Amino acid sequence: MQSKSVGIVGASGYSGELLVRLLSRHQGVESLVVASRSHAGKRLSEVLPSIGPSRFDESCFIESDPSALAASDTEVFFLALPHGVASEFALPLVKAGKTVIDLSADFRLFSAEVYREYYGEAHPAAEWLKKVPYLLPEWSGREALGASLIACPGCYPTSILLPLLPLIKGGLVDAGQVVINAVSGVSGAGKKASEFYSFCERTQSVLAYGLAKHRHLGEIEEQLTEAAGEPVVLQFTPHLVPMDRGIASTVVAPLKADLDAVYAAWNAQYGQCPFVRILAPGKAANTRNVVGSNCIEFSATADPRTGRVILTSVIDNLMKGASGQALQIFNLKFGFEETEGLL
């Protein structure tokens, strides 16, 4: 494997900051440029002190101009940008021959109609939607790694899809009766100046949000529909909890097989995956075990009273739900050890 020159666009948010830290440790990153509208000219260590000592400490943020970045000799770009903005960078960069790993929601959906339904406007480059793979490393086929523009899954979807996809695909649960509740730490909302996200408002607060149609729903349903071979419609209710990082998803669905079949499907799919930790029935996944790591932890418990299976699944929303997974994709695409920079 050859070392790469890497860029990050949008590094002043939480996932961008974490990417800088992870890439600083990575043996296969020979250079790093970081582009940011608000911080151009400042040193990385000044804006992001928590990245600690880093070989890129003295680097300065550069202007986040798509044409200039496209003309540069950086080979691979991570986009840690808000949805809608990412596509303004992704397309020029890909056209200039760069590899782009997009952490935003811009290319996660296949359907332009679904995009319009969830994001309230036409997709700016709808013709790309069907071409860009949605790459969930432990699930997606290896051919997706060949693409030069890759969409990273969202945080809620990652926590839900990994345990659920094999069960839907294998017909082990009733895909028509899936009910999902999930909770997220506050960093999921990004770095924001907002009364709602202030410490005092959030510290004693749990509440549902996105009732009844959170944006991640479209993404989850598309993936499950593909796995099921027929339309899947979900009940999905996310909640905010007073925690910095972490997502815990609880999925219930009628079980059409026995629990052994669930575990067999999981072991077949994930037995060799370094970041998947499968817990015994009756044990609940715990965000504390994954905060700061790129792991997903999940379990299945049968409820004989209701005939349903209960899946509990946790990730760190900024790691496996964003920056860690993006780096995992980078590793797989360029032939590095899957865990490089992620231990």
Site for a copy of itself in 234-253 (CB under 8 A): 234-235, 237, 239, 241-246, 248, 250, 252
Give the C-alpha separation, 238 to 95, whole Å: 37
Q: Each residue of 259-285: b (16+ CB within 10 Å) or e?
A: eeebeebbeebbeebebbbbbeeeeeb
Judged by CB under 8 A, does residue 287 bind a copy of itself?
yes
CB of 98 to a copy of itself, least distance (A): 26
What six digits make up the tokens of 121? 């406007």
Judged by CB under 8 A, does residue 52 bind a copy of itself?
yes
State the burial class of residue 125 (Cβ atoms within 10 Å of its Cβ: 0-12, 13-18, 19+). middle
User: Is 108 in contact with 134 (CB distance < 8 Å)?
Assistant: yes
Q: Can you spell out the DSSP letters for 54-104? A: -TTTT-B-B---HHHHHHS---EEEE---TTTHHHHHHHHHHTT-EEEE-S
Give the x/- contact pattern for a copy of itself in 184-213, rule: CB under 8 A. Answer: --xx---xxxxx-xxxxxxxxxxxxx-xxx
What six digits make up the tokens of 336? 């590095």
Judged by CB under 8 A, does residue 310 bind a copy of itself?
yes
Judged by CB under 8 A, does residue 272 bind a copy of itself?
no
State the burial class of residue 112 (Cβ atoms within 10 Å of its Cβ: 0-12, 13-18, 19+). middle
Nearer to a copy of itself, 149 or 291 (CB): 291
CB of 196 to a copy of itself, least distance (A): 8
CB of 210 to a copy of itself, least distance (A): 9
Site for a copy of itself in 165-184 (CB under 8 A): 177, 179, 181, 183
CB of 59 to a copy of itself, least distance (A): 15
CB of 257 to a copy of itself, least distance (A): 17
User: Is 74 in contact with 33 (CB distance < 8 Å)?
Assistant: yes
200 given a catalytic annotation: no
Judged by CB under 8 A, does residue 68 bind a copy of itself?
no
What six digits make up the tokens of 252? 């219930």
Judged by CB under 8 A, does residue 49 bind a copy of itself?
yes
In the set 3, 25, 126, 334, which binds a copy of itself (CB under 8 A)? 25
Q: Which of 155, 200, 273, 295 is the catalytic position? A: 155
Amino acid at 269: Q
In the set 5, 54, 59, 269, which binds a copy of itself (CB under 8 A)? 54
Site for a copy of itself in 311-330 (CB under 8 A): 312, 314
Nearer to a copy of itself, 101 or 290 (CB): 290
Task: Output the CA torsion 178→248→321→144 (10° steps).
Answer: -30
Active site residues: 155
